[in-house]
Amino acid sequence: MRIVSWNVNGLRACTRKGFGKFLKTCKADVLCLQEVRAFPEQLDDNIRSPRGWHTHFFPAERPGYSGVAIYSRAQPTHVATSLGDSSFDIEGRFLMVRFGRLSVASVYFPKGSGKDRDNSRVPYKLDFYAAVKEKIELARKLGPVYVTGDYNTAHESIDLARPKTNRKSSGFLPEERDVLTKWMEDGWVDVFRDRHPNEPDHYSWWRQWGNAREDNVGWRIDYVLASPSGAKRVSDAFIWPKVTGSDHCPVGVDLSA
């Protein structure tokens, strides 16, 4: 089983840049998307409901903003979208599906920077993390869980090209990083870093100016975190930086039977 996650930075735009071909060739059994930025009815039929896929979308109430989706080869036995707080749910950031005992979540964690890059949304971001944690801990009691998505936080210095100049920037603030540390202390596994513990220069997002992607000046902020039972099933964890179409690239895991 292959689970792939990708912040597409607008699914309609990504479709014009080759998303349809990616969907056919990525060999995913479950594909999680973030920052869809479209209502389902705004998408072409072959993207909204492509042959051979079951699709679920959870858009934001605000047009052209946020939104998550999950494409799966098998029909989920359960679908959840609410975090129990309307201030989170209206932004369309959380979608979790279950296949029997196994759960997969597509999550678009908020930025903390705010409109004026003043870190004003950090409290909202931390509260959102807490709400997601509550949901995934419940799912973990049922079976393996894989929490995929754009976490909007680089956990350690190895996870971004320029840690020294970003220590006061949302995405690398101590309080944001501490959340991920606590999750891992509670048993959640960053499966890519677990398999590549000391390898630098693996990033999943690059600014769209200044040749950042060409020069690999990026951040690893897209993750698959697995519950302990889920981590045991991971046979490979990967990042696909050569896949273009967004300012993020896909990340994912392969699972053994």
The predicted-structure confidence for 171-208, as pLDDT tens digits, reads as follows: 999 999 999 999 999 999 999 999 999 999 999 999 99
Averaged pLDDT for residues 40-47: 97
Q: What pLDDT is stored for residue 199 in this prediction? A: 96
Q: What are phi and psi for residue 21, nearest 5 degrees?
A: -65, -40
Distance of CA 254 to CAs 65, 213, 238, Å? Answer: 30, 26, 8
Q: What pLDDT is stored for residue 120 in this prediction? A: 93
- Supply the angle between the helices 174-185 and 122-140 in degrees, to the nearest 10: 10
Residue 9 pLDDT > 80? yes
- Give residue 21's domain range: 2-255
Helices (DSSP H) in 31-165: which residue ranges? 45-48, 86-89, 122-140
| Residue that has been written with the tokens 């045991």 in this structure | 232
Q: What pLDDT is stored for residue 39 in this prediction? A: 98
Q: What pLDDT is stored for residue 257 in this prediction? A: 75
Euclidean distance between CA atoms 36 and 39, whole angstroms = 8
Q: What pLDDT is stored for residue 116 in this prediction? A: 77
Residues forming the active site: 150
- The domain tally of the chain equals 1
Among candidate residues 69, 151, 149, 64, the one with its CA nearest the CA of residue 110: 151
Beta-carbon contacts of residue 72 (< 8 Å; ≥ 6 apart): 29, 30, 31, 53, 54, 55, 56, 97, 99, 104
Residue 1 pLDDT > 80? yes
Averaged pLDDT for residues 89-111: 98
Averaged pLDDT for residues 66-89: 98
| Residue 252 near residue 235 (C-beta atoms within 8 A) | no
Euclidean distance between CA atoms 71 and 31, whole angstroms = 5
Averaged pLDDT for residues 118-140: 97
Averaged pLDDT for residues 56-79: 98
- Residue 104's CATH number: 3.60.10.10
Among candidate residues 99, 187, 185, 182, the one with its CA nearest the CA of residue 142: 99
C-beta neighbour count of 168 within 10 angstroms: 9
Residue 115 pLDDT > 90? no
Residue 117 pLDDT > 90? no
Per-residue pLDDT of 198-248, as tens digits, reads 999 999 999 999 999 999 999 999 999 999 999 999 999 999 999 999 999
Q: Where are the beta strands (DSSP E) in the chain?
A: 2-7, 30-34, 54-58, 68-72, 78-80, 94-99, 102-108, 145-150, 189-190, 205-206, 218-219, 222-226, 234-239, 251-255
Residue 134 pLDDT > 90? yes
Whether the pTM exceeds 0.95: the reply is yes
Averaged pLDDT for residues 249-256: 98
